Amino acid sequence: MSELLLLSNSTNHGAQPLDHAPLAEFYGGRTVLFVPYALADHAGYATRIGEAFARAGVALRSVHTETDPAAALAAAEAVWVGGGNTFRLLATLQRIDGLLAIGTAVAAGAHYGGASAGTNLACPTIRTTNDMPIVEPAGFAALGLVDFQVNAHYLDPLPGSTHMGETRAERIREFHEENETPVVGLREGGLLRVSGESVTLSGRARVFRRGTQPEEVGDGPLRPWGPPA
Note the residues at the interface with a copy of itself (CB under 8 A): 9-14, 40, 84-85, 88, 125-136, 139-140, 152-153, 155, 158, 162-166, 171-172, 174-175, 177-179, 188
List of residues 6+ apart from 224 with CB closer than 8 A: 148, 182, 183, 184, 199, 207, 209
Report the nearest approach of a copy of itself to the CB of residue 120 (Å).
10
* C-beta of residue 191 within 8 angstroms of C-beta of residue 21: yes
Report the nearest approach of a copy of itself to the CB of residue 31 (Å).
28
Query: Would you name the residues annotated as active-site residues?
Result: 116, 131, 153
List of residues 6+ apart from 175 with CB closer than 8 A: 127, 128, 149, 183, 208
Report the nearest approach of a copy of itself to the CB of residue 131 (Å).
7
| Closer to a copy of itself by Cβ: residue 88 or 111 | 88
Report the nearest approach of a copy of itself to the CB of residue 77 (Å).
29
Q: Is 36 exposed, middle or buried (0-12, 13-18, 19+ CB in 10 A)?
A: buried
| Closer to a copy of itself by Cβ: residue 1 or 178 | 178
DSSP summary character for residue 30: P
d(CA 80, CA 102): 11
Where residue 151 falls (left for φ over 0; alpha for ψ -120 to 50; beta otherwise) is beta
Nearest to 188 by CA among 164, 177, 204, 176: 204
| Closer to a copy of itself by Cβ: residue 161 or 213 | 161
